[in-house]
Amino acid sequence: MKKIICTVFLLAGSVGLFAQAKKVSTAYIFEDYIFENYNGVKKLNEELQKKQENFQTEFNKIALEYQEANQQYQESMKNIASETSESINSKLKRVQGLRENADNFQRESEKQLQEFMGMNIARVKEEIQVAAKTVSKQQGITYIFTRNKTEGPMTPYRVVLFADDTKTANISDDVLKVLNAGVK
C-alpha cells in the first residue's frame, strides 16, 4: 500500500513538473516585407532623395562653372597670338581646378550618401529587433527568426532575431565540451 501511495505521489509530482515546464515557441518575420512597409524606412527614403537632389543641384552648379570656364579657355585658344604663356597656363589651371573640384564633390557626395544609408539601415535593423523583442514578450514567443521573401542559395541560414534565454536551457558549456574534446 505504501508503494502505491508513493507511486501516486511521484506520478502526481511528475505531472506537475511537466505542467510547469514552459512551452518553447518560435516565430519569424519577413525582414524585407518590414523594410518595404515600415514608415520609418519610407521617411528615410524621402530624406535620402532630398539629400540626393541637394547634392545634384550643387554638382550642377559646379559642373556649369567648369563648362563655362572650359568654353572660355577653348575660345581663348582660338586667339592664341594675343595670349601669353602665363595667361594660357593660368586659364588651364583654373579649368583643371574646377574639374578636380567637380570630381571631388561627386566622390564626397557619394561617400556621404553611402554613410547616411549604412548608418540608418543599421538603426532600422535595431528598431526591428527592439520591436520583435516587444512582440515576443507580449505573445510569449521564445525565438524569433528573420526570413526574406526571396532567399536564394547565398542566404540559406535563418538569423535568430530574438531568443528569450530565461525560457530555454543554455547548452553552451555542453557544446564547448564536445568541441574542446576534439582539440588536443
Q: Dump pLDDT digits (tens) for 13-50.
A: 444 444 444 577 888 888 788 888 888 888 899 999 99
Q: How confident is the model at residue 81 (pLDDT cuts 50, 70, 90)?
A: confident
Q: Which domain holds residue 25?
A: 20-166
φ and ψ at residue 80, rounded to 5 degrees: -65, -25
**Residue at 10 is within a domain:** no
**Residue at 12 is within a domain:** no
Q: Dump pLDDT digits (tens) for 112-168.
A: 999 999 999 998 888 888 888 888 888 888 888 777 766 555 555 556 666 665 555
**Residue at 83 is within a domain:** yes
Strand order in the sheet with 143-147: 26-30, 143-147, 159-163
Comparison of pLDDT for 105 and 82, the residue scoring more: 105
Q: Look at residue 19 in the predicted model and tell me its pLDDT.
A: 40
**Residue at 177 is within a domain:** no
Cα dist. 76→65, 97, 143 in Å? 17, 18, 73
| Angstrom distance (rounded) from CA 121 to CA 129 | 12
Q: Is the pLDDT of residue 179 over 70?
A: no
**Residue at 111 is within a domain:** yes
Written as one letter, the residue type at 151 is E
Contact present, 106 and 63 (Cβ < 8 Å):
no
> Into how many domains does the chain fold?
1
Q: Look at residue 53 in the predicted model and tell me its pLDDT.
A: 96
